[in-house]
């Protein structure tokens, strides 16, 4: 298929067309031509809404959780990939915390096969330890050959230092990336929100920020000892940002990501006991939030993720301390990026959810230009809409943003010969 995107402004600092309003001609999944004006006969023109429309590299979500296999009623792979496609994502990494856990080459093949035929490229992240219990290593080389892109115990931190050390060494055989959730689960035991004034006021057991910083400090020392590649997923404190900054300056190969809600919300969002704001890591202080924002601006934080973790109503509509952790975040991702652009340049935000995650995972990443594979997101950022239960596209509804006005919407997603244009 050959078609034209008319009058889109390219937002891609690595592209020669950055900040230019152009027409883009796409032919058989590749960008054939980019010009101020393309006059071609017998070529389909994609009807985009009038106004300022923007073109970026396709979004990539570093860590999503679809509960497939095992609990597909919360969010299965099929619905999850459709949700990603509608909201500008062309790639995503799938956490292994399913039932059964993604821990064998057959499990990797299941995910790869389930993702075939979808617009979004789905990359399984293999478990490091059996059942993500942190006790016995899996056959990571087998999973690597089957298509596992990186290795992690996902929502479970690796508490055993010996296991972490061995994994860092093991993954160097094929230049693999270890993704670690930085959390001392014992220090956070029975905790449900950040430990501080607000938790005391609400009478809830807190999760101290030291539970995160201790793990980061330990893991960075192990990384300096072994070498390898380490990625911290879901940092939340000012101290974490500073330690990772220092480690990068020393030359360690360390990267990190932050959940988009951590950049926008702080512990005060929980004052009315909204269980949709119960997440792990917890929403921290306003000072921590500002430090995370500065971490993104300075490049210390490499990736912004949705940390999409669907939960059913039964696990969320209960007492706060008993409710499950997690928040959905795919459908609100672009509007929240636009909201964040008041604090962080949009170019920086987009780099954190397009080029950077792909680079960390060793995926090809091309600047928007002629001759490259079309891997694109088209969006606008002016029109407001209400995010409601009726237009919620996820199987789950655990988001504090449902019932609020959002600004900006994805108009189309293109990945090679696959494309989806939203009406």
Q: Which CATH architecture has domain 2-55+369-421?
A: Roll (2.30)
Report the C-alpha gap between 396 and 382 in whole angstroms.
27
The residues of the chain that CATH labels 3.20.20.140 are: 58-360
Asked if 119 and 415 count as a contact pair (C-beta separation under 8 A), the reply is yes
User: What CATH number has the domain spanning 58-360?
Assistant: 3.20.20.140
Asked if 289 and 216 count as a contact pair (C-beta separation under 8 A), the reply is no
CA dihedral 285, 286, 291, 295 (to 10 degrees): 100
According to DSSP, the β-strands at 404-415 and 206-207 are: unpaired
Nearest to 206 by CA among 278, 308, 309: 278
Report the C-alpha gap between 273 and 299 in whole angstroms.
34
The residues of the chain that CATH labels 2.30.40.10 are: 2-55+369-421
Each residue's pLDDT, cut to its tens digit, for the chain (423 residues) gives: 899 999 999 999 999 999 999 999 999 999 999 999 998 877 999 989 988 999 999 999 998 999 888 899 899 999 999 999 999 999 999 999 999 999 999 999 999 999 999 999 999 999 999 999 999 999 999 999 999 999 999 999 999 999 999 999 999 999 999 999 999 999 999 999 999 999 999 999 999 999 999 999 999 999 999 999 999 999 999 999 999 999 999 999 999 999 999 999 999 999 999 999 999 999 999 999 999 999 999 999 999 999 999 999 999 999 999 999 999 999 999 999 999 999 999 999 999 999 999 999 999 888 999 999 999 999 999 999 999 999 999 999 999 999 999 999 999 999 999 999 986
Report the C-alpha gap between 129 and 70 in whole angstroms.
19
CA dihedral 22, 23, 28, 30 (to 10 degrees): -10
């Amino acid at each position: 298929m050959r078609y034209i995107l008319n009058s889109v402004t390219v937002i891609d600092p690595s592209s020669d067309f950055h900040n230019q309003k152009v027409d883009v001609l796409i032919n058989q999944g590749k960008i054939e031509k980019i010009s101020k004006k393309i006059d071609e006969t017998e070529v389909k023109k994609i009807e985009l809404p009038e106004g300022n429309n923007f073109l970026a590299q396709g979004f990539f979500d570093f860590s999503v959780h679809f509960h497939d296999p095992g609990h597909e009623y919360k969010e299965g792979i099929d619905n999850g990939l459709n949700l990603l496609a509608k909201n500008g994502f062309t790639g995503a990494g799938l956490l292994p915390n399913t039932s059964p856990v993604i821990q064998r080459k057959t499990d990797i093949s299941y995910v790869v096969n389930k993702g075939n035929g979808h617009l979004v490229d789905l990359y399984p992240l293999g478990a490091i330890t059996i059942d993500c219990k942190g006790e016995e290593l899996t056959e990571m080389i087998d999973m690597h050959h089957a298509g596992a892109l990186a290795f992690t115990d996902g929502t479970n931190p690796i508490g055993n230092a010996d296991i972490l050390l061995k994994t860092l060494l093991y993954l160097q055989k094929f230049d693999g990336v270890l993704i670690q959730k930085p959390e001392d689960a014992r220090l956070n035991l029975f905790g449900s929100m950040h430990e501080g004034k607000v938790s005391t006021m609400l009478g809830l057991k807190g999760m101290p920020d030291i539970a995160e910083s201790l793990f980061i400090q330990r893991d960075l020392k192990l990384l300096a000892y072994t070498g390898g590649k380490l990625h911290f997923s879901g940092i939340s404190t000012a101290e974490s940002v500073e330690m990772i900054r220092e480690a990068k300056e020393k030359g360690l190969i360390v990267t990190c990501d932050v959940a988009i809600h951590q950049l926008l919300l702080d512990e005060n969002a929980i004052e009315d006991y909204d269980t949709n704001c119960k997440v792990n890591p917890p929403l921290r202080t306003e000072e921590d939030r500002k430090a995370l924002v500065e971490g993104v601006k300075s490049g210390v934080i490499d990736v912004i993720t949705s940390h999409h973790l669907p939960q059913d109503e039964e696990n969320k509509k209960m007492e706060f301390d008993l409710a499950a952790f997690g928040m959905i975040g795919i459908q609100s991702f672009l509007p929240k990026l636009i909201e964040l652009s008041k604090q962080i340049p949009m170019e920086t935000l987009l780099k954190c959810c397009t080029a950077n995650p792909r680079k960390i995972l060793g995926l090809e990443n091309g600047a928007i230009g002629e001759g490259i594979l079309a891997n694109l997101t088209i969006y606008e950022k002016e029109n407001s809409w209400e995010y409601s239960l009726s237009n919620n596209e996820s199987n789950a509804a655990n988001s504090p943003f449902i019932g609020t006005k959002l600004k900006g919407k994805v108009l189309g997603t293109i990945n090679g010969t696959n494309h989806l244009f939203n009406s």
